[in-house]
Amino acid sequence: MIECTDVYKRYRNGVNALYNINLRIDQGEFVYVIGPTGSGKSTLIKLLDGEEVPTKGTVKVIGIDVGRLRRSQVPVYRRNIGVVFQDYRLLPTFTVFENIAYALEVIGMDKTLIRSRVRGVLNLVGLDDKGNAFPKELSGGQQQRVAIARAIANRPKVLIADEPTGNLDPTMSDEIMSVLERINKAYGTTIVMVTHDSGVVNKHRKRTVALEYGHIKADLPGGGYILDDK
Amino acid sequence: MISRFFRPVVEGFKGVWRHAAMSLSSIFSVMMSLILVSLMMMFTFNVRRFTQGLEHSIQIAVTVDYGHEAAEEEDRMALAIKDIPGVTTVTFSSKDDELEYYINSVANEEAKKLFEPYREDGKNPMHDAFYVEVDDGSRLEEITHQIEQIEGVDEVEYGGASATKLVSALNLVRLIGMGLTGALSLLAVFLIANTINTTIENRSMELGIMRNVGAKNSFIRGPFLIEGIIIGLLGSIVPILMTYFGYRYLYGITGGHLVSDMFVLLDPEPFAKQLSLALLAMGVFVGFLGSYISVTRRLRWKR
Ligand SMILES: Nc1ncnc2c1ncn2[C@@H]1O[C@H](COP(=O)(O)OP(=O)(O)OP(=O)(O)O)[C@@H](O)[C@H]1O
Ligand SMILES: [Mg+2]
Protein backbone atom coordinates (compact mmCIF):
# COMPACT_ATOMS: atom_id res chain seq x y z
CA MET A 1 0.00 0.00 0.00
CA ILE A 2 2.79 2.40 1.00
CA GLU A 3 6.36 1.72 0.04
CA CYS A 4 9.33 4.00 0.58
CA THR A 5 12.55 2.76 -0.93
CA ASP A 6 15.91 4.43 -0.18
CA VAL A 7 14.21 7.79 0.25
CA TYR A 8 16.25 10.94 0.83
CA LYS A 9 14.87 14.41 1.17
CA ARG A 10 17.07 17.43 1.12
CA TYR A 11 15.35 20.83 1.09
CA ARG A 12 16.58 23.64 -1.11
CA ASN A 13 18.13 25.36 1.88
CA GLY A 14 20.40 22.35 2.36
CA VAL A 15 18.59 20.74 5.31
CA ASN A 16 18.65 16.96 5.12
CA ALA A 17 15.20 16.18 6.46
CA LEU A 18 15.13 12.47 5.64
CA TYR A 19 17.73 9.96 4.67
CA ASN A 20 17.73 6.34 3.74
CA ILE A 21 14.11 5.73 4.60
CA ASN A 22 12.88 2.22 3.84
CA LEU A 23 9.34 1.66 4.95
CA ARG A 24 6.58 -0.68 3.95
CA ILE A 25 3.04 -0.37 5.21
CA ASP A 26 0.43 -2.91 4.17
CA GLN A 27 -3.23 -2.50 3.44
CA GLY A 28 -5.36 -2.06 6.53
CA GLU A 29 -2.47 -1.21 8.85
CA PHE A 30 -2.63 1.59 11.39
CA VAL A 31 0.85 2.99 11.96
CA TYR A 32 2.15 5.80 14.17
CA VAL A 33 5.13 7.85 13.11
CA ILE A 34 6.78 9.44 16.11
CA GLY A 35 9.97 11.39 16.71
CA PRO A 36 11.32 14.59 18.22
CA THR A 37 10.68 17.90 16.61
CA GLY A 38 12.58 18.38 13.39
CA SER A 39 13.10 14.64 12.91
CA GLY A 40 11.33 14.66 9.55
CA LYS A 41 7.82 13.40 10.37
CA SER A 42 5.98 16.12 8.47
CA THR A 43 8.42 15.77 5.61
CA LEU A 44 7.48 12.12 5.33
CA ILE A 45 3.79 13.05 5.21
CA LYS A 46 4.50 15.64 2.51
CA LEU A 47 6.27 13.03 0.44
CA LEU A 48 3.28 10.72 0.82
CA ASP A 49 0.68 13.31 -0.27
CA GLY A 50 2.80 14.67 -3.10
CA GLU A 51 3.46 18.11 -1.64
CA GLU A 52 7.18 17.47 -1.76
CA VAL A 53 9.30 15.33 -4.06
CA PRO A 54 12.00 12.99 -2.75
CA THR A 55 15.54 14.00 -3.62
CA LYS A 56 16.39 10.33 -4.10
CA GLY A 57 14.48 7.07 -3.94
CA THR A 58 10.87 6.23 -4.64
CA VAL A 59 7.69 6.78 -2.69
CA LYS A 60 4.88 4.51 -3.82
CA VAL A 61 1.34 4.83 -2.54
CA ILE A 62 -1.47 2.62 -3.85
CA GLY A 63 0.90 1.65 -6.63
CA ILE A 64 1.54 5.24 -7.74
CA ASP A 65 5.04 6.64 -7.85
CA VAL A 66 4.16 9.85 -6.04
CA GLY A 67 7.51 11.54 -6.55
CA ARG A 68 7.23 11.25 -10.32
CA LEU A 69 3.80 12.83 -10.61
CA ARG A 70 3.57 16.00 -12.64
CA ARG A 71 2.18 18.99 -10.78
CA SER A 72 -1.07 18.77 -12.70
CA GLN A 73 -1.46 15.11 -11.75
CA VAL A 74 -1.08 15.71 -8.04
CA PRO A 75 -4.70 16.79 -7.42
CA VAL A 76 -6.02 13.70 -9.17
CA TYR A 77 -3.73 11.51 -7.08
CA ARG A 78 -4.93 13.22 -3.88
CA ARG A 79 -8.47 12.15 -4.55
CA ASN A 80 -7.32 8.63 -3.73
CA ILE A 81 -5.88 9.45 -0.36
CA GLY A 82 -7.18 11.39 2.61
CA VAL A 83 -5.04 13.90 4.46
CA VAL A 84 -5.62 15.41 7.89
CA PHE A 85 -3.53 18.17 9.46
CA GLN A 86 -2.94 19.45 12.94
CA ASP A 87 -4.57 22.80 12.05
CA TYR A 88 -7.70 21.15 10.48
CA ARG A 89 -7.50 23.25 7.30
CA LEU A 90 -11.20 23.83 6.88
CA LEU A 91 -12.46 26.55 4.56
CA PRO A 92 -13.57 29.22 7.05
CA THR A 93 -16.39 30.65 4.95
CA PHE A 94 -17.84 27.26 4.05
CA THR A 95 -20.21 25.41 6.30
CA VAL A 96 -19.29 21.98 7.61
CA PHE A 97 -21.45 20.43 4.94
CA GLU A 98 -19.91 22.55 2.19
CA ASN A 99 -16.39 21.78 3.37
CA ILE A 100 -16.94 18.08 3.03
CA ALA A 101 -18.95 18.43 -0.17
CA TYR A 102 -16.10 20.37 -1.77
CA ALA A 103 -13.87 17.30 -1.74
CA LEU A 104 -16.59 15.43 -3.62
CA GLU A 105 -17.49 18.21 -6.05
CA VAL A 106 -13.87 18.14 -7.08
CA ILE A 107 -14.36 14.70 -8.61
CA GLY A 108 -17.61 15.76 -10.26
CA MET A 109 -19.82 13.66 -8.07
CA ASP A 110 -23.57 13.94 -8.51
CA LYS A 111 -25.29 16.34 -6.09
CA THR A 112 -27.68 13.83 -4.57
CA LEU A 113 -24.89 11.35 -4.05
CA ILE A 114 -22.80 14.07 -2.43
CA ARG A 115 -25.60 14.84 -0.01
CA SER A 116 -25.98 11.28 1.16
CA ARG A 117 -22.21 10.79 1.31
CA VAL A 118 -21.72 13.88 3.46
CA ARG A 119 -24.51 12.78 5.79
CA GLY A 120 -22.90 9.35 6.04
CA VAL A 121 -19.46 10.60 7.02
CA LEU A 122 -20.85 13.20 9.40
CA ASN A 123 -22.68 10.38 11.11
CA LEU A 124 -19.50 8.33 11.24
CA VAL A 125 -17.61 11.10 13.06
CA GLY A 126 -20.59 11.85 15.29
CA LEU A 127 -21.50 15.29 13.98
CA ASP A 128 -24.89 14.63 12.35
CA ASP A 129 -26.34 17.90 13.61
CA LYS A 130 -23.44 20.19 12.67
CA GLY A 131 -23.79 20.30 8.90
CA ASN A 132 -24.87 23.93 8.77
CA ALA A 133 -22.37 25.20 11.33
CA PHE A 134 -19.30 27.17 10.32
CA PRO A 135 -15.90 25.86 11.44
CA LYS A 136 -15.36 28.68 13.93
CA GLU A 137 -18.55 27.66 15.73
CA LEU A 138 -17.05 24.25 16.55
CA SER A 139 -14.55 23.08 19.16
CA GLY A 140 -11.10 21.99 18.03
CA GLY A 141 -12.02 18.35 18.39
CA GLN A 142 -15.18 18.83 16.35
CA GLN A 143 -13.29 20.70 13.64
CA GLN A 144 -10.78 17.89 13.46
CA ARG A 145 -13.60 15.41 13.09
CA VAL A 146 -14.95 17.46 10.20
CA ALA A 147 -11.51 17.36 8.62
CA ILE A 148 -11.42 13.59 9.05
CA ALA A 149 -14.91 13.30 7.59
CA ARG A 150 -13.75 15.31 4.58
CA ALA A 151 -10.63 13.16 4.22
CA ILE A 152 -12.60 9.93 4.11
CA ALA A 153 -15.61 11.17 2.12
CA ASN A 154 -13.97 9.90 -1.06
CA ARG A 155 -13.52 6.47 0.54
CA PRO A 156 -9.75 6.58 0.12
CA LYS A 157 -7.66 3.46 0.69
CA VAL A 158 -5.10 5.49 2.59
CA LEU A 159 -5.52 8.15 5.24
CA ILE A 160 -2.50 10.11 6.39
CA ALA A 161 -2.64 12.46 9.33
CA ASP A 162 -0.03 14.90 10.62
CA GLU A 163 -0.53 15.34 14.36
CA PRO A 164 -4.31 15.25 14.23
CA THR A 165 -4.49 15.47 18.02
CA GLY A 166 -1.71 18.05 18.32
CA ASN A 167 -4.01 20.87 19.36
CA LEU A 168 -6.44 18.82 21.39
CA ASP A 169 -6.80 17.87 25.04
CA PRO A 170 -6.72 14.16 26.02
CA THR A 171 -10.50 13.71 25.98
CA MET A 172 -10.82 15.17 22.51
CA SER A 173 -7.78 13.17 21.41
CA ASP A 174 -9.51 10.01 22.53
CA GLU A 175 -12.56 10.95 20.49
CA ILE A 176 -10.39 11.44 17.42
CA MET A 177 -8.62 8.14 18.04
CA SER A 178 -11.84 6.22 18.28
CA VAL A 179 -13.05 7.81 15.04
CA LEU A 180 -9.82 6.85 13.28
CA GLU A 181 -9.95 3.31 14.66
CA ARG A 182 -13.52 2.98 13.51
CA ILE A 183 -12.55 4.06 10.00
CA ASN A 184 -9.60 1.68 10.01
CA LYS A 185 -11.82 -1.23 11.04
CA ALA A 186 -14.95 -0.41 9.07
CA TYR A 187 -13.34 0.34 5.70
CA GLY A 188 -9.95 -1.31 6.07
CA THR A 189 -8.43 2.12 5.42
CA THR A 190 -4.68 2.18 5.84
CA ILE A 191 -3.79 4.91 8.32
CA VAL A 192 -0.47 6.63 8.86
CA MET A 193 -0.56 9.00 11.78
CA VAL A 194 2.23 11.31 12.86
CA THR A 195 2.09 12.19 16.51
CA HIS A 196 3.97 13.71 19.41
CA ASP A 197 1.44 12.49 21.84
CA SER A 198 2.88 9.79 24.12
CA GLY A 199 -0.46 9.50 25.84
CA VAL A 200 -2.17 8.47 22.64
CA VAL A 201 0.63 6.16 21.51
CA ASN A 202 0.75 4.31 24.80
CA LYS A 203 -2.97 4.05 25.25
CA HIS A 204 -3.94 2.97 21.74
CA ARG A 205 -1.08 0.64 20.91
CA LYS A 206 -0.19 0.16 17.26
CA ARG A 207 2.84 -0.41 15.10
CA THR A 208 5.12 2.56 15.74
CA VAL A 209 7.85 3.94 13.49
CA ALA A 210 10.27 6.19 15.33
CA LEU A 211 12.23 8.82 13.40
CA GLU A 212 15.32 10.58 14.64
CA TYR A 213 17.47 13.02 12.68
CA GLY A 214 15.71 12.00 9.51
CA HIS A 215 16.22 8.27 9.68
CA ILE A 216 14.23 5.38 11.10
CA LYS A 217 15.50 4.68 14.57
CA ALA A 218 13.03 1.93 15.41
CA ASP A 219 10.03 0.16 13.95
CA LEU A 220 8.05 -1.49 16.71
CA PRO A 221 5.24 -3.81 15.62
CA GLY A 222 3.83 -3.80 19.14
CA GLY A 223 4.04 -0.06 19.59
CA GLY A 224 4.64 2.00 22.70
CA TYR A 225 6.24 5.37 23.05
CA ILE A 226 9.98 4.86 23.07
CA LEU A 227 11.28 8.39 23.11
CA ASP A 228 12.10 10.44 26.15
CA ASP A 229 9.33 12.88 26.81
CA LYS A 230 10.69 16.33 26.22
CA MET B 1 -22.27 18.79 -18.04
CA ILE B 2 -24.52 21.72 -17.25
CA SER B 3 -23.29 21.82 -13.68
CA ARG B 4 -19.72 21.99 -14.99
CA PHE B 5 -20.60 25.31 -16.52
CA PHE B 6 -22.86 26.68 -13.81
CA ARG B 7 -20.91 25.55 -10.80
CA PRO B 8 -18.21 28.25 -11.07
CA VAL B 9 -20.90 30.87 -11.63
CA VAL B 10 -22.91 29.82 -8.61
CA GLU B 11 -19.76 29.45 -6.51
CA GLY B 12 -18.54 32.82 -7.78
CA PHE B 13 -21.68 34.54 -6.52
CA LYS B 14 -21.40 32.69 -3.23
CA GLY B 15 -17.77 33.75 -2.97
CA VAL B 16 -18.65 37.43 -3.31
CA TRP B 17 -21.23 36.98 -0.58
CA ARG B 18 -19.00 34.88 1.67
CA HIS B 19 -16.29 37.49 1.68
CA ALA B 20 -18.66 40.42 1.76
CA ALA B 21 -16.29 42.86 3.43
CA MET B 22 -13.45 42.11 1.04
CA SER B 23 -15.77 42.18 -1.94
CA LEU B 24 -17.06 45.55 -0.86
CA SER B 25 -13.60 47.03 -0.66
CA SER B 26 -12.81 45.70 -4.12
CA ILE B 27 -16.08 47.00 -5.51
CA PHE B 28 -15.35 50.38 -3.97
CA SER B 29 -11.92 50.57 -5.55
CA VAL B 30 -13.37 49.65 -8.93
CA MET B 31 -16.01 52.33 -8.44
CA MET B 32 -13.63 55.13 -7.53
CA SER B 33 -11.24 54.27 -10.32
CA LEU B 34 -13.93 54.14 -12.96
CA ILE B 35 -15.43 57.45 -11.85
CA LEU B 36 -12.06 59.11 -12.30
CA VAL B 37 -11.55 57.46 -15.65
CA SER B 38 -15.02 58.53 -16.73
CA LEU B 39 -14.41 62.18 -15.83
CA MET B 40 -11.10 62.20 -17.65
CA MET B 41 -12.65 60.62 -20.71
CA MET B 42 -15.52 63.10 -20.79
CA PHE B 43 -13.02 65.90 -20.66
CA THR B 44 -10.63 64.51 -23.25
CA PHE B 45 -13.22 63.53 -25.80
CA ASN B 46 -14.95 66.88 -25.58
CA VAL B 47 -11.70 68.75 -26.04
CA ARG B 48 -11.17 66.63 -29.09
CA ARG B 49 -14.61 67.60 -30.26
CA PHE B 50 -13.73 71.31 -29.82
CA THR B 51 -10.59 71.02 -31.84
CA GLN B 52 -12.38 69.14 -34.56
CA GLY B 53 -14.97 71.91 -34.74
CA LEU B 54 -12.35 74.57 -34.94
CA GLU B 55 -10.26 72.75 -37.45
CA HIS B 56 -13.24 72.66 -39.68
CA SER B 57 -13.27 76.43 -39.83
CA ILE B 58 -9.65 76.62 -40.78
CA GLN B 59 -9.02 76.89 -44.48
CA ILE B 60 -6.14 77.18 -46.85
CA ALA B 61 -6.57 79.78 -49.55
CA VAL B 62 -4.81 78.95 -52.80
CA THR B 63 -4.61 81.57 -55.56
CA VAL B 64 -4.01 80.61 -59.15
CA ASP B 65 -1.26 82.18 -61.21
CA TYR B 66 -2.63 84.40 -64.02
CA GLY B 67 -0.94 82.21 -66.59
CA HIS B 68 -2.74 79.04 -65.50
CA GLU B 69 -6.37 80.04 -65.50
CA ALA B 70 -7.48 77.68 -68.25
CA ALA B 71 -10.25 75.32 -67.10
CA GLU B 72 -8.27 72.13 -67.72
CA GLU B 73 -5.30 73.49 -65.79
CA GLU B 74 -7.47 74.41 -62.86
CA ASP B 75 -9.09 70.97 -62.92
CA ARG B 76 -5.62 69.47 -62.78
CA MET B 77 -4.67 71.66 -59.85
CA ALA B 78 -7.88 70.87 -57.99
CA LEU B 79 -7.18 67.16 -58.41
CA ALA B 80 -3.58 67.56 -57.31
CA ILE B 81 -4.68 69.36 -54.15
CA LYS B 82 -7.32 66.78 -53.46
CA ASP B 83 -4.70 64.05 -53.72
CA ILE B 84 -2.73 65.42 -50.81
CA PRO B 85 -3.37 63.28 -47.74
CA GLY B 86 -5.35 65.16 -45.11
CA VAL B 87 -7.28 67.34 -47.57
CA THR B 88 -11.01 66.91 -47.16
CA THR B 89 -12.62 69.42 -49.52
CA VAL B 90 -11.47 71.71 -52.30
CA THR B 91 -13.82 74.53 -53.34
CA PHE B 92 -13.25 76.68 -56.40
CA SER B 93 -13.90 80.40 -56.34
CA SER B 94 -13.55 82.44 -59.53
CA LYS B 95 -11.84 85.81 -59.59
CA ASP B 96 -15.24 87.47 -60.06
CA ASP B 97 -16.53 85.75 -56.95
CA GLU B 98 -13.43 86.89 -55.16
CA LEU B 99 -13.97 90.49 -56.18
CA GLU B 100 -17.62 90.40 -55.11
CA TYR B 101 -16.63 88.94 -51.79
CA TYR B 102 -13.92 91.53 -51.34
CA ILE B 103 -16.13 94.48 -52.24
CA ASN B 104 -18.89 93.22 -49.97
CA SER B 105 -16.47 92.89 -47.08
CA VAL B 106 -15.72 96.59 -47.25
CA ALA B 107 -18.04 98.30 -44.87
CA ASN B 108 -17.85 101.85 -46.22
CA GLU B 109 -20.28 102.55 -49.08
CA GLU B 110 -18.02 105.33 -50.44
CA ALA B 111 -15.07 103.04 -50.53
CA LYS B 112 -17.06 100.37 -52.27
CA LYS B 113 -17.53 102.73 -55.18
CA LEU B 114 -13.80 102.98 -55.61
CA PHE B 115 -13.71 99.34 -56.62
CA GLU B 116 -16.44 99.62 -59.23
CA PRO B 117 -14.03 100.14 -62.14
CA TYR B 118 -12.50 96.72 -61.47
CA ARG B 119 -15.77 95.06 -62.38
CA GLU B 120 -15.10 95.84 -66.01
CA ASP B 121 -13.86 93.01 -68.20
CA GLY B 122 -10.14 92.43 -67.97
CA LYS B 123 -9.65 94.87 -65.16
CA ASN B 124 -10.24 92.42 -62.32
CA PRO B 125 -7.00 92.26 -60.31
CA MET B 126 -8.10 89.25 -58.28
CA HIS B 127 -6.96 85.67 -58.85
CA ASP B 128 -9.01 82.54 -59.23
CA ALA B 129 -8.80 80.69 -55.97
CA PHE B 130 -9.28 77.35 -54.24
CA TYR B 131 -10.38 76.98 -50.65
CA VAL B 132 -9.01 73.86 -49.06
CA GLU B 133 -10.22 72.25 -45.86
CA VAL B 134 -8.11 69.75 -43.97
CA ASP B 135 -8.96 67.12 -41.41
CA ASP B 136 -6.20 67.91 -38.96
CA GLY B 137 -5.22 71.46 -38.03
CA SER B 138 -1.77 70.45 -36.95
CA ARG B 139 -0.90 69.55 -40.54
CA LEU B 140 -1.96 72.89 -41.95
CA GLU B 141 1.58 74.08 -42.50
CA GLU B 142 2.77 70.86 -44.04
CA ILE B 143 -0.17 70.74 -46.46
CA THR B 144 0.29 74.37 -47.35
CA HIS B 145 3.86 73.63 -48.23
CA GLN B 146 2.82 70.73 -50.45
CA ILE B 147 0.27 72.87 -52.30
CA GLU B 148 2.98 75.46 -53.02
CA GLN B 149 4.80 72.82 -55.07
CA ILE B 150 1.91 72.39 -57.52
CA GLU B 151 2.45 74.03 -60.89
CA GLY B 152 0.29 77.09 -61.47
CA VAL B 153 -0.11 78.01 -57.83
CA ASP B 154 0.51 81.66 -57.16
CA GLU B 155 0.20 82.02 -53.44
CA VAL B 156 -0.91 79.79 -50.58
CA GLU B 157 -2.08 81.10 -47.25
CA TYR B 158 -3.67 79.46 -44.34
CA GLY B 159 -6.24 81.49 -42.59
CA GLY B 160 -7.09 82.01 -38.97
CA ALA B 161 -3.68 82.24 -37.39
CA SER B 162 -5.37 82.74 -34.03
CA ALA B 163 -7.63 79.76 -34.63
CA THR B 164 -4.57 77.74 -35.47
CA LYS B 165 -2.98 78.76 -32.22
CA LEU B 166 -6.12 77.79 -30.34
CA VAL B 167 -6.18 74.46 -32.11
CA SER B 168 -2.63 73.72 -31.15
CA ALA B 169 -3.34 74.82 -27.59
CA LEU B 170 -6.38 72.55 -27.47
CA ASN B 171 -4.39 69.79 -29.05
CA LEU B 172 -1.91 70.10 -26.23
CA VAL B 173 -4.70 70.03 -23.66
CA ARG B 174 -6.13 67.00 -25.37
CA LEU B 175 -2.75 65.31 -25.45
CA ILE B 176 -2.28 65.96 -21.75
CA GLY B 177 -5.83 64.75 -21.13
CA MET B 178 -5.18 61.60 -23.09
CA GLY B 179 -1.95 61.03 -21.24
CA LEU B 180 -3.74 61.54 -17.94
CA THR B 181 -6.57 59.24 -18.96
CA GLY B 182 -4.07 56.59 -19.97
CA ALA B 183 -2.08 56.97 -16.77
CA LEU B 184 -5.26 57.01 -14.74
CA SER B 185 -6.62 53.91 -16.44
CA LEU B 186 -3.37 52.17 -15.71
CA LEU B 187 -3.52 53.35 -12.14
CA ALA B 188 -7.11 52.12 -11.93
CA VAL B 189 -6.11 48.73 -13.29
CA PHE B 190 -3.27 48.60 -10.82
CA LEU B 191 -5.42 49.72 -7.90
CA ILE B 192 -8.16 47.22 -8.66
CA ALA B 193 -5.72 44.39 -9.32
CA ASN B 194 -3.97 45.25 -6.09
CA THR B 195 -7.17 45.21 -4.03
CA ILE B 196 -8.21 41.92 -5.53
CA ASN B 197 -4.72 40.63 -5.01
CA THR B 198 -4.86 41.51 -1.31
CA THR B 199 -8.22 39.83 -0.86
CA ILE B 200 -6.92 36.72 -2.57
CA GLU B 201 -3.73 36.88 -0.52
CA ASN B 202 -5.97 36.62 2.52
CA ARG B 203 -7.47 33.54 0.97
CA SER B 204 -4.21 31.98 -0.12
CA MET B 205 -4.75 29.39 2.60
CA GLU B 206 -8.07 28.51 0.97
CA LEU B 207 -6.31 27.85 -2.32
CA GLY B 208 -3.90 25.53 -0.51
CA ILE B 209 -6.76 23.68 1.18
CA MET B 210 -8.54 23.27 -2.13
CA ARG B 211 -5.48 21.69 -3.65
CA ASN B 212 -5.08 19.53 -0.57
CA VAL B 213 -8.45 17.94 -1.12
CA GLY B 214 -7.74 17.21 -4.76
CA ALA B 215 -9.01 20.24 -6.68
CA LYS B 216 -7.28 20.98 -9.97
CA ASN B 217 -6.18 24.54 -10.63
CA SER B 218 -8.87 25.09 -13.24
CA PHE B 219 -11.52 23.94 -10.76
CA ILE B 220 -10.21 26.33 -8.12
CA ARG B 221 -9.78 29.23 -10.51
CA GLY B 222 -13.24 29.23 -12.08
CA PRO B 223 -15.22 30.67 -9.16
CA PHE B 224 -12.51 33.24 -8.46
CA LEU B 225 -12.69 34.51 -12.03
CA ILE B 226 -16.45 34.81 -11.82
CA GLU B 227 -16.02 36.63 -8.52
CA GLY B 228 -13.68 39.08 -10.24
CA ILE B 229 -16.19 39.65 -13.02
CA ILE B 230 -19.05 40.17 -10.56
CA ILE B 231 -16.97 42.67 -8.61
CA GLY B 232 -16.14 44.48 -11.84
CA LEU B 233 -19.82 44.55 -12.77
CA LEU B 234 -21.00 45.77 -9.39
CA GLY B 235 -18.19 48.31 -9.20
CA SER B 236 -19.13 49.82 -12.54
CA ILE B 237 -22.81 50.41 -11.74
CA VAL B 238 -22.37 53.74 -9.96
CA PRO B 239 -19.81 55.13 -12.43
CA ILE B 240 -22.09 54.16 -15.31
CA LEU B 241 -25.14 55.81 -13.78
CA MET B 242 -23.09 58.91 -13.03
CA THR B 243 -21.72 58.99 -16.54
CA TYR B 244 -24.95 58.30 -18.33
CA PHE B 245 -27.24 60.62 -16.41
CA GLY B 246 -24.56 63.06 -15.24
CA TYR B 247 -23.40 63.79 -18.75
CA ARG B 248 -26.95 64.18 -20.01
CA TYR B 249 -27.62 66.62 -17.20
CA LEU B 250 -24.48 68.59 -17.96
CA TYR B 251 -25.36 68.70 -21.62
CA GLY B 252 -28.84 69.85 -20.75
CA ILE B 253 -27.87 72.74 -18.48
CA THR B 254 -25.15 74.04 -20.80
CA GLY B 255 -27.39 73.77 -23.84
CA GLY B 256 -24.82 71.61 -25.56
CA HIS B 257 -21.99 74.10 -25.72
CA LEU B 258 -19.57 75.97 -23.50
CA VAL B 259 -18.92 79.75 -23.62
CA SER B 260 -19.85 80.11 -27.28
CA ASP B 261 -20.98 78.05 -30.23
CA MET B 262 -17.35 77.40 -30.91
CA PHE B 263 -17.17 74.84 -28.09
CA VAL B 264 -19.85 72.35 -28.95
CA LEU B 265 -20.19 69.41 -26.58
CA LEU B 266 -20.51 65.84 -27.76
CA ASP B 267 -24.10 64.71 -28.04
CA PRO B 268 -24.96 62.37 -25.14
CA GLU B 269 -26.43 60.10 -27.76
CA PRO B 270 -24.27 58.09 -28.44
CA PHE B 271 -21.35 59.49 -26.41
CA ALA B 272 -22.72 58.86 -22.89
CA LYS B 273 -23.83 55.41 -23.97
CA GLN B 274 -20.49 54.52 -25.50
CA LEU B 275 -18.60 55.80 -22.51
CA SER B 276 -20.85 53.77 -20.19
CA LEU B 277 -20.19 50.66 -22.22
CA ALA B 278 -16.46 51.34 -22.13
CA LEU B 279 -16.61 51.64 -18.34
CA LEU B 280 -18.54 48.39 -18.07
CA ALA B 281 -16.03 46.61 -20.27
CA MET B 282 -13.17 48.05 -18.31
CA GLY B 283 -14.63 47.03 -14.94
CA VAL B 284 -15.33 43.50 -16.06
CA PHE B 285 -12.02 43.09 -17.79
CA VAL B 286 -9.97 44.41 -14.91
CA GLY B 287 -11.93 42.35 -12.38
CA PHE B 288 -11.35 39.24 -14.43
CA LEU B 289 -7.70 39.95 -15.08
CA GLY B 290 -6.96 40.90 -11.48
CA SER B 291 -8.44 37.65 -10.23
CA TYR B 292 -6.77 35.59 -12.91
CA ILE B 293 -3.31 36.94 -12.21
CA SER B 294 -3.63 36.76 -8.41
CA VAL B 295 -5.00 33.25 -8.33
CA THR B 296 -2.65 31.88 -10.95
CA ARG B 297 0.33 33.37 -9.19
CA ARG B 298 -0.60 31.74 -5.90
CA LEU B 299 -1.35 28.38 -7.46
CA ARG B 300 1.79 28.23 -9.54
CA TRP B 301 4.10 26.76 -6.93
CA LYS B 302 1.61 24.74 -4.97
CA ARG B 303 1.95 21.02 -5.53
N1 LIG C 1 9.90 23.63 3.38
C2 LIG C 1 11.06 23.47 4.04
N3 LIG C 1 12.18 24.06 3.60
C4 LIG C 1 13.32 23.88 4.24
N5 LIG C 1 13.50 23.14 5.32
C6 LIG C 1 12.43 22.51 5.84
C7 LIG C 1 11.15 22.65 5.22
N8 LIG C 1 10.27 21.92 5.93
C9 LIG C 1 10.96 21.37 6.94
N10 LIG C 1 12.26 21.72 6.89
C11 LIG C 1 13.31 21.26 7.79
O12 LIG C 1 13.39 19.87 7.69
C13 LIG C 1 13.57 19.28 8.97
C14 LIG C 1 12.45 18.30 9.25
O15 LIG C 1 11.25 19.05 9.35
P16 LIG C 1 9.83 18.37 9.61
O17 LIG C 1 8.82 19.42 9.50
O18 LIG C 1 9.71 17.19 8.72
O19 LIG C 1 10.00 17.90 11.11
P20 LIG C 1 8.88 17.29 12.07
O21 LIG C 1 9.41 15.98 12.52
O22 LIG C 1 7.56 17.32 11.44
O23 LIG C 1 8.94 18.32 13.28
P24 LIG C 1 7.73 18.77 14.23
O25 LIG C 1 7.55 17.72 15.23
O26 LIG C 1 8.25 20.03 14.86
O27 LIG C 1 6.53 19.00 13.38
C28 LIG C 1 13.64 20.43 9.96
O29 LIG C 1 14.99 20.70 10.22
C30 LIG C 1 13.01 21.56 9.23
O31 LIG C 1 13.58 22.77 9.63
MG1 LIG D 1 5.71 18.35 11.78
Classify residue B66 by its DSSP letter: G
The residue of chain B with its CA nearest to that of A51 is B303
Closest residue by Cα to residue B209 from A84, A89, A81: A89
Q: How far is the CA of A228 from the centre of ligand 1 (A)?
A: 20
Which residues are A30's β-sheet partners?
A: A191
* Owning domain of residue A102: 2-220
Amino acid at B139: R
Asked whether residue A30 is assigned to any structural domain, the reply reads yes
**Distance between CA B246 and CA B94 in Å, rounded?**
50
pLDDT at position A136 is 95
CB B84 within 8 A of CB B143: yes
Query: Could you give the CA distance from residue A106 to residue A82 in angstroms, rounded to a whole number?
Result: 14
Read off the pLDDT of residues A180-230 as tens digits, 9 standing for 90 and up: 999 999 999 999 999 988 889 999 999 999 999 999 999 998 887 765 544
User: Does the residue A114 lie in any domain?
Assistant: yes
- Please tell me the distance from the alpha carbon of residue A136 to that of residue B115, in angstroms, as a whole number: 100
Residues, beta carbon < 5 Å, ion ligand 2: A 42
* Any A CB within 8 A of B173 CB: no
Give a yes or no: residue A229 inside a domain: no
CATH code: domain of residue A205 = 3.40.50.300
Q: Mean pLDDT per 10-residue run, chain B (303 residues)?
A: 74 87 88 90 84 72 88 88 88 87 74 80 85 78 87 82 71 84 81 80 88 90 92 94 92 79 79 92 90 87 77
Give the residue among A103, A105, A113 at the shortest CA–CA distance from A80. A103
Q: Is the dihedral of CA B44, B45, B46, B51 positive or negative?
A: positive
Q: Return left, alpha or beta for B109; rule: phi > 0 is left, psi -120 to 50 is alpha, else beta.
A: alpha
- Asked whether the beta carbons of residue B4 and residue A50 sit closer than 8 angstroms, the reply is no
**Is A102 in contact with A135 (CB distance < 8 Å)?**
no
Residue B214: its chain A contacts at CB < 8 A? 75-79, 103, 106-107, 154
Q: Could you read off the pLDDT of A130-181 as tens digits, one per residue?
A: 999 999 999 999 999 999 999 999 999 999 999 999 988 999 899 899 999 9
- For the whole model, what pTM was predicted? 0.75
User: Residue A227 falls within a domain, yes or no?
Assistant: no
Residue A230 covered by a domain: no
| pLDDT computed for residue A127 by the predictor | 94
- Give the number of domains in chain A: 1
Is the confidence metric ipTM above 0.95 for this complex?
no
Give ∠ CA A26-A32-A37 in degrees, rounded to 5: 135
Let me know if residue A149 belongs to a domain: yes
Q: Which domains does chain B have, with CATH numbers?
A: 2-50+177-299 (no CATH), 59-158 (3.30.70.3040)
**Which of B19, B205, B214 is the closest to A75 by Cβ?**
B214
3-state secondary structure of B50: helix
| Distance, CA of A60 to CA of A52 (rounded, Å) | 13
Cα(B249)–Cα(A98) distance, integer angstroms = 49
Scan residues 154-173 of A and list those with Cβ closer than 8 Å to B: 154
Is residue A109 in a domain?
Answer: yes
Question: What is the DSSP-derived secondary structure letter of residue B68?
Answer: G
The Cα–Cα gap between B66 and B78 comes to: 16
Find out whether A192 and A28 touch, Cβ atoms under 8 Å: no
Question: Quick count: other Cβ atoms within 10 Å of Cβ B179?
Answer: 12
Residue A51 within any structural domain of the chain = yes
